[in-house]
Chains A and B, each alone.
Chain A
């Protein structure tokens, strides 16, 4: 049509009047700072601040032995938290990781005690991890296909699992007390130190790197973000959102299984105490949230969770080194979570 030209872009002449480039581009600190994505690096700043403060305040803190110990003790929880991060990003939440962790440790320990020998150790490890996988898949199916809110589904599951744990542990105990697996073939898992670093730390490192890369560079990772960011859009883009979510629950369950086995080898007994399971779940969630992964799904990263968990561990370690009453640990952590989440909500509010 002849009058199509009405809608063509304006002639170049109108753009000629745009302001010319400033003659001397000087370094503008203000503008530079404005471009830093503060929200995305929020965890890095306090992490470094506390690290430096502790390094100055307590010389023991930066010793190779102390840092090695902290990492060794955190390896199990780091594995669980990294996998649980995927659950959260995909739009779910897993409150049963602590219970699963304890359940798998008991299964592993019971089999090692009952079967014995190297075969028992191998079978125990495999069964522990497999049990975690099964629990994860059940969590996933309940909270997707059965349409039960994952918060409630995994809360209920965690009671069921803790009950099942007591059931299983009766077979592993000799008389009263705890399951003890003081067999060298098994403890080897926790006590070897390739290149001076404990094997659990190595395992955690490998798992974290793999999960980080999966999230960052694979189609599955993309689907995880899409499922949590906008489930309906993901579905209409041809993504099987339920399967993606089940996979994240399965990963979290498997990770809890692996962590349960590793920590059993470190301790090497399973104390029968539900509070340990609950504390683990809470610490995992705290670490994820402090790291900056959104509780609403769709955003977050594994490295954030690693920093979040280590931040909490560092804080506890610092309290101990500085001989501060452990009473304040919980209070300090609670305040930090509120500040972290509040900062997140506040920065979102300001952007909109």
Chain B
């Protein structure tokens, strides 16, 4: 081993040589050379779809590389499951936490590795072992607290302690602060520094560039599946990172915004809307205007969209389309011309086992049916013409699950285009969409606005919001806390508004 462990954590040298990965013929990662030095914080930055998650999943054993080699302590390694990677000391703290909410902190930390006595869990041993780990990390969480009721930041601490209890030397953190308040973010940063000081290696994936520069020793930039450069964090600035990540000006990523006529008619008017997770929201969207809805995950953006669309009960307030109030039911708002592209294609958008054609026509069966009888030819023509407009080729009788993420999103767009709409709400329209298809989705959104629809775009990707929207509303705690237009529309302003007021933001 190159270094001797200073504080006692086992050290692990992980190295990638020429690693590549393809999914369904599409190369998502190629020729990656990377060396993760023990005891350091190594950050991975890049746009959505640049290959950060794929890379981390190769290291953690979720995927195996199609080419190149993975070296652990100078030995060639190949993991066929995350379990094997964990046995070698590599653990991942994912965005979605994998805790058992009904169990206590200590039980979660030692889940699957409980100290046993005669086949029973040794309660006292469990507590003693837990206190040892808690002391090492400095996390002061009560051993008996039930995890389900704890705040996200504390749950993350439990996950980290679990990784340590399993002897992890390399800890991969995928967007650990995305759902945290500023205060909790600060706490987590302290944890990361401490882990590194103990000799652990931390691979940090983050969208927040300031966080990356503050925490990381080394930064690797990925773009379109290739490694752009690896440098000491001290040599980078936010500007240099952005330039490296984009490799081109914003203008080529996003289509030109259509002329939004400030005096255009208001198509969507939301007044004092109250619904689950939505606490009094009012705003207007004009014809031809693209309005961005920014904010952190869990801030209430999707809840607002669902309340407008009638997918969630509306407790108070009104939603009007072209000045006429829309009912609080999905069938009703669809009829009024509102369409929602939901946040999760797989869970909320598509019926994956059904053909592409059925998925296109699903919410507009009236157009291809009379008295409940579906006319096959009419349906085939309708589906084909919509798929042509959204540029999805091939036999539409294939199951929709056979398509790539980008094409699946286009199928949903096809569904939206089937009828004349007035308002389009796109919730995370490019999540899980490859870089190549992303522009096509943006083009579709802009095209809708150009045709006089009012468009509401929800995105966690601030650049996406800035690139698409004429105007940005920032959501926090279920209400709109900021509105930016023109020159005031900057990443800094949006992030500041989204993060502001840490004390009331963190749920206690």
- B-contacting residues of A (Cβ < 8 Å)? 1, 3-4, 6-7, 217-223, 225-226, 229-230, 232-240, 298-299
Contact = CB atoms under 8 A, between A and B. Distances in A.
A229 B309 CA distance: 22
B94 interface: no
A220 B374 CA distance: 9
Contacts of B439: 7
B347 A232 contact: yes
Given A218-B372, A236-B340, A6 B365 contact: no
B365 A219 contact: yes
A230 B365 contact: no
30 contacts: A1-B249, A1-B256, A3-B248, A3-B251, A4-B252, A6-B248, A7-B252, A218-B372, A218-B373, A218-B374, A219-B366, A219-B374, A220-B372, A222-B374, A223-B365, A232-B348, A233-B349, A233-B350, A234-B362, A235-B311, A236-B309, A236-B311, A236-B340, A236-B348, A236-B349, A237-B330, A237-B415, A238-B334, A239-B362, A299-B353
B376 interface: yes
B351 A233 contact: yes
Given A7-B439, A240-B331, A230 B347 contact: yes
A298 B362 CA distance: 14
Given A3-B251, A3-B252, A226-B362, 11 more contacts: A1-B249, A1-B251, A6-B248, A218-B372, A222-B361, A222-B362, A230-B350, A232-B347, A233-B348, A233-B351, A298-B353
A230 to B, nearest CB: 5
A226 B331 CA distance: 16
Given A219-B374, A220-B372, A229 B256 contact: no
Contacts of B369: 218-219
Interface string B323-335: 0000000110010
A223 B334 CA distance: 16
B104 interface: no
B354 A219 contact: no
B249 A3 contact: yes
Contact of A225 (B252, B340, B354, B415): B354
B330 A236 contact: yes
Which secondary structure dominates chain A's binding surface?
A: helix
Interface in B348-379: 348-354, 358, 361-363, 365-366, 369, 372-374, 376
B347 A233 contact: yes
Contacts of B49: none
A45 to B, nearest CB: 22
Contacts of B349: 233, 236
A342 to B, nearest CB: 19
Which of the listed residues B311, B349, B353 has the most CB atoms from chain A within 10 Å of its own CB? B353
Contacts of B354: 225-226, 229, 298
A230 B415 CA distance: 16
**10 closest A-B pairs (Cβ-Cβ)?**
A237-B363, A229-B351, A1-B251, A219-B365, A230-B351, A237-B362, A3-B252, A238-B334, A238-B331, A238-B330
A218 B365 CA distance: 9
Contacts of B256: 1
Interface string B308-323: 0101000000000000
A52 B349 CA distance: 45
Contact of A217 (B342, B348, B376): B376
Given A6-B252, A236-B342, A240-B331, A225 B347 contact: no
Contacts of B309: 236
Given A1-B251, A225-B358, A238 B363 contact: yes
Interface in B236-260: 248-249, 251-252, 255-256
A223 B364 CA distance: 11
Contacts of A230: 347, 350-352
Interface string B375-407: 010000000000000000000000000000000
A103 to B, nearest CB: 30
Contacts of B330: 235-238
A237 B359 CA distance: 10
Interface string B435-472: 00001000000000000000000000000000000000
A221 B354 CA distance: 12
